[in-house]
């Protein structure tokens, strides 16, 4: 792609994002340096960001912080998300927020409940409390559920303190990244946002009265959480992963590890017995799904 084509492509993207934000292409300011692996970065209305690499043509990264999303409005934002999902673009991060103006569950009470027996977590990573700041005068009340590097992490905090009283509510903020963000963007593109947010929150962590029934799925939800979630069912966090064929796995292995295998073979002076020993060690670690895949491949021939 020539520089002229790249600039035109960039202008088209800027124009589209500007339209969503109710701005104009002239509102964007190019930064002195790019962001991470992108060579060019621009700052737009409401602190929105656009990163672009002319070498990769159609490789763009658009970042819309909360104030930009608020400026765009629900309908414009929904159309924007739908359009990029339909085009095959992938969301890298999506933050879903729910404000509890009734202040039903304080962050401290939330912390107490997730440490108790009534929590139903749908991810092992959600069992780790990685950051807690309660009652500090300079921070307000904040509880994190989930590891910082995980695909899904929930933050419950006093938004009134953070906003200087502008939003008098406790905020539930579910940060989704990677595969979880892709599914969240799809859900937002084609679903009712109030339902999507609540269903994905319940899909991350739920609270059931342990004494109400023997089976978890039959137990009544904790009353305060039920009020907040409005009876929402859990949403699946990720798209189903399609099983790969043994041929696809072979091609993936060749692409990813052929150079490493060649290096080891050369290291051993071309002696294939060393490579065979690696395979024998791996054979002892085969699991049922591996054996089933081998058996399925044999039936084809």
Where is the domain boundary, 71, 98, 126? 71
Could you tell me if 137 and 53 lie in one domain? no
110 within a domain of the structure (yes/no): yes
Q: State yes or no: pLDDT of 38 exceeds 90.
A: no
pLDDT in tens, 148-168: 888 999 999 888 877 777 889
CA dihedral 286, 287, 293, 294 (to 10 degrees): 30
**What average pLDDT does this structure show over 73-95?**
88
**pLDDT class for 288, splitting at 50, 70, 90?**
confident
Sheet (strand 29-30) strand order: 29-30, 40-43, 49-52, 60-63
Q: Please give the C-alpha separations between residue 201 and each of 95, 104, 175, 248, in angstroms, as whole numbers.
A: 11, 16, 10, 35
Judgement on whether residues 234 and 145 belong to the same structural domain of the protein: yes
Q: What is the mean pLDDT of the chain?
A: 84
- Residues 62, 122, single domain; the answer is no
Domain count, the chain: 3
pLDDT of residue 139: 55
> Is 261 within the bounds of a domain?
yes
287 and 224 co-located in one domain: no
pLDDT value of residue 256: 80
Evaluate the CA torsion angle 161, 163, 164, 167 in order and state its sign.
negative
- Is 150 within the bounds of a domain? yes
Tokens of 150: 């995980």
* 84 assigned to some structural domain: no
Q: Answer whether 113's CB lies under 8 Å from 223's CB.
A: no
- Mean pLDDT along residues 103-110: 91
- Identify the CA nearest to 149 among candidates 170, 122, 172, 180: 180
State whether 17 and 4 are in the same domain. yes
Q: How confident is the model at residue 170 (pLDDT cuts 50, 70, 90)?
A: very high
281 shares a domain with 150: no
What is the structure's pLDDT at 49?
93
Q: Are residues 280 and 164 in the same domain?
A: no
- The residue segments making up the domain with residue 59 are 1-71
Question: With 60 as the cut, is the pLDDT of residue 1 above it?
Answer: no
User: Is residue 100 over pLDDT 70?
Assistant: yes
Q: For position 282, what pLDDT does the model report?
A: 81
Per-residue pLDDT, 245: 77
CA 138 to mean position of chain CA atoms: 29
For 240-287, write each residue's pLDDT tens digit. Answer: 766 677 787 888 788 888 888 888 889 989 888 888 888 888 888 877
**Final residue in a domain of this structure, among 241, 260, 277:** 241
**Domain boundary at 241, 263, 280, which?**
241
- State residue 95's pLDDT score: 95
> Is 123 found in the same domain as 159?
yes
Quickly list DSSP for the chain. Answer: --HHHHHHHHHHHHHHHHHHHT--GGG-EE-SS--TT-SEEEE-GGG-EEEE-GGGSS-EEEE--HHHHHHH-HHHHHHHHHHHHHTT---SEEEEEEEETT--S-HHHHHHHHTSTTEEESSGGGG---EEEEEETTTEEEEEES-TTSSEEEEEEEHHHHTTTSS-SEEEEEEEEHHHHHHHHHHHHHS-HHHHHHHHHHHHEEEB-GGG-SSGGGSPBPHHHHHHHTTPPPPPSSPPPPPPPHHHHHHHHHHHHHHHHHHHHHHTTT-HHHHHHHHHHHHTT--HHHHHHHHHHHHT-
Binned at pLDDT 50, 70 and 90, residue 133 comes out as low
* Pick from 41-55, 88-102, 125-139, 162-176: least confident: 125-139
Cβ-in-10-Å burial (0-12, 13-18, 19+) of 42 comes to buried
**Whole-angstrom Cα distance, residue 256 to residue 238?**
25
Q: What is the pTM of this model?
A: 0.74
Whether the per-residue pLDDT at 301 is higher than 80: the answer is no
Residue 57: pLDDT over 60 = yes
- 121: pLDDT strictly greater than 80: no
Mean pLDDT of 53-70: 83
pLDDT band at 117 (very low <50, low <70, confident <90, very high): confident
Residue 80 resides in a domain? no
Report yes or no on 81 lying in a domain. Answer: no
Q: Is residue 282 part of a domain?
A: yes
- Regarding whether 194 and 120 lie in a shared domain, the answer is yes
199 and 141 share a domain?
yes
What's the confidence (pLDDT) of residue 92? 92
Residue % of the chain over a pLDDT of 70: 89
- Domain identity same for 184 and 212: yes
Q: Look at residue 205 in the predicted model and tell me its pLDDT.
A: 93
Nearest residue to 94 via CA among 21, 189, 192, 206: 189
Q: Which pLDDT tens digit goes with each residue over 172-195? A: 999 999 999 999 999 999 999 999
- Could you give the count of Cα atoms lying within 13 Å of 213 in the half-sphere of its Cβ? 9
Q: Are residues 237 and 256 in the same domain?
A: no
> In this structure, is residue 170 part of a structural domain?
yes
């Amino acid at each position: 792609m020539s520089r002229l084509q790249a600039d035109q492509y960039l202008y088209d993207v800027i124009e589209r994002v500007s339209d969503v934000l109710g701005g104009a292409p002239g509102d964007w300011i190019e930064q002195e340096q790019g962001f991470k692996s992108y060579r060019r970065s621009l700052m737009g209305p409401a602190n929105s960001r656009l990163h672009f690499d002319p070498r990769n043509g159609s490789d763009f990264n658009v970042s819309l912080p909360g104030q930009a999303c608020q400026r765009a409005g629900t309908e414009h934002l929904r159309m924007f998300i739908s359009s990029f999902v339909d085009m095959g673009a992938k969301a890298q991060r999506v933050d879903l927020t729910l404000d509890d103006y009734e202040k039903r569950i304080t962050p401290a009470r939330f912390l107490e409940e997730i440490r108790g027996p009534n929590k139903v977590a749908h991810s092992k990573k959600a069992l780790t409390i990685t950051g807690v700041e309660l009652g500090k005068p300079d921070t307000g009340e904040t509880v994190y559920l989930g590891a910082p590097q995980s695909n899904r992490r929930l933050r419950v905090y006093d938004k009134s303190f953070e906003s200087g009283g502008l939003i008098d509510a406790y905020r539930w903020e579910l940060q989704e990244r990677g595969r979880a963000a892709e599914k969240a963007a799809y859900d937002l593109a084609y679903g009712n946002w109030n339902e999507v947010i609540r269903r994905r929150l319940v899909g991350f962590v739920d609270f059931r009265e342990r004494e109400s029934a023997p089976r978890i799925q039959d137990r009544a939800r904790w009353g305060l959480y039920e009020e907040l979630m409005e009876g929402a069912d859990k949403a699946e966090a990720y798209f189903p992963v399609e099983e790969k064929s043994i041929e696809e796995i072979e091609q993936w292995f060749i692409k990813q590890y052929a150079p490493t295998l060649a290096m080891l073979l050369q290291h051993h002076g071309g002696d294939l017995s060393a490579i065979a020993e690696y395979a024998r060690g791996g054979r002892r670690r085969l699991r049922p799904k591996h054996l089933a895949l081998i058996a399925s491949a044999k039936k084809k021939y």
